[in-house]
Amino acid sequence: MTDSAPPAVETTIAGVRSRLDAARSAGSTSALVPTMGSLHDGHLALVERAREIADVVIVSIFVNPMQFGPSEDFEKYPRDVDADRDALIGHGVTAVFAPEVDEIYPSGAVQIRVTAGAAGERFEGRSRPGHFDGMLTVVAKLLGIVQPHLAVFGEKDAQQVYLVQRMVRDLDIRTRIEVVETVRADDGLALSSRNQFLGERQRRAARAIPDALEAAQSAADRGLDAVIAAAQGVLMGADGVELDYFAVVRPDTFQPVDDDHRGPARALIAARVGETRLIDTELLHIG
């Protein structure tokens, strides 16, 4: 494949394994970038990082039904593998793994699944019950199918990243997890497939989310109370933004920090702007 040609598309487990077996025989290292498609510049940053650290880059595109709750419309999730493949031209991707649902779940709902435990029941897990169990199960399957040396994830989905890292560690999976910093648009909004659903006025309102994180970071040297007050001050004055949660957690446990916490911490925001639910995060150092 030349760098100007679209990457090959593999739709079967046997096909992607065969391609990777050949690469391993040649001594190549491999990286997996798991996605659900609708690729944007944030995804491409993950791909670029994968290309920097591995010889072979596989991008998976799979809309995982196990991640969708009863109120979330799996059928309406945007799917355009051809457009996604074209977006990857020139980015050094070896192949796209784009299986159908019955390739990943040939017997329907799986009986054995990975559970996120208590860490998956807070924050996003409280708003989307069962989401993280479905996410971890499919990531475990993808890591088992591809068996990459590395897998690349985006920092914006901080709880997902924490849980994947914990799963890999707890289950002794040999894949190393690489995390890429959040990619932001010029207005500060974290890149997300959901941003396309924001109207112009909603997009302006949504800027309160990164603004709140920036305010929290600026206040971090004055302690946790100042962090919370600074973020809430921005969010409370934002018309059209309905806050789900703002939280500050320990990066190593994802537990809420104590009132007297000093040191690294991660701020988390989830909010709804119109019908669109957005999440964002920022690493802090509370002084």
Percent of the chain with pLDDT over 70: 99
Would you say residue 1 has pLDDT above 70?
no
pLDDT of residue 70: 77
Q: How many domains does the chain have?
A: 2
Active site residues: 43
Do 175 and 197 lie in one domain? The reply is: no
Residues 155 and 40 in one domain: yes
pTM attached to this predicted model: 0.95
Identify whether residues 112 and 19 lie together within a single domain: yes
Q: Which of 180, 201, 226 is the last residue of a domain?
A: 180
Give the H or E element holding residue 269.
strand 263-273
Examine the domain organization and report whether 204 and 250 are in the same domain. Answer: yes
For position 197, which CATH number holds? 3.30.1300.10
Q: What's residue 109's pLDDT?
A: 80
Contact indicator for 184, 213 with CB cutoff of 8 Å: no
pLDDT at 37: 95
Q: Are residues 165 and 237 in the same domain?
A: no
Spatial CA neighbour of 100 closest among 30, 9, 181: 9
Instruction: Flag the least confident range among 66-75, 93-102, 158-167, 274-283.
Output: 66-75
pLDDT at 271 over 90: yes
Cα 74 to chain centroid, rounded: 17
Are 247 and 169 contained in the same domain? Answer: no
**Are 150 and 206 within one domain?**
no
User: Each residue of 33-50: pLDDT tens digit?
Assistant: 999 999 999 999 999 999
Span 45-66, mean pLDDT?
97
pLDDT reported for residue 5: 83
Is the residue at 125 inside a domain?
yes
Name the pLDDT band for 78 (thresholds 50, 70, 90).
confident
pLDDT for residue 123 is more than 70: yes
20 and 161 housed in the same domain: yes
Domain membership flag for residue 188? no
Domain residues for 144?
A: 8-180
Q: What is the pLDDT of residue 132?
A: 96
The answer to whether residue 275 sits within a structural domain is yes
Q: Are residues 233 and 96 in the same domain?
A: no
In this prediction, residue 72 has a pLDDT band, given cuts at 50, 70 and 90, of confident
* Domain CATH number, residue 117: 3.40.50.620
- pLDDT, position 75: 80
Residues 6 or more apart in contact with residue 22 via CB below 8 angstroms: none
DSSP codes joined into one string, 7-74: PEEE-SHHHHHHHHHHHHHTT--EEEEEE-S---HHHHHHHHHHHHH-SEEEEEE---GGG--TTS-G
pLDDT digit string (tens) for 246-266? 999 999 999 999 999 999 999
Question: Torsions phi, psi of 97, nearest 5?
Answer: -100, 105
Which of 135, 157, 180 is the endpoint of a domain? 180
Please state the length of the chain. 287
Structure-token pair, residue 129:
């019950």
Q: Work out the average pLDDT over 192-198.
A: 92
For residue range 160-188, list pLDDT tens digits in order.
999 999 999 999 999 999 999 999 999 99
Check whether residue 148 and residue 197 sit in a common domain.
no
Domain end marker among 134, 159, 180: 180
At residue 192, the pLDDT reads: 94
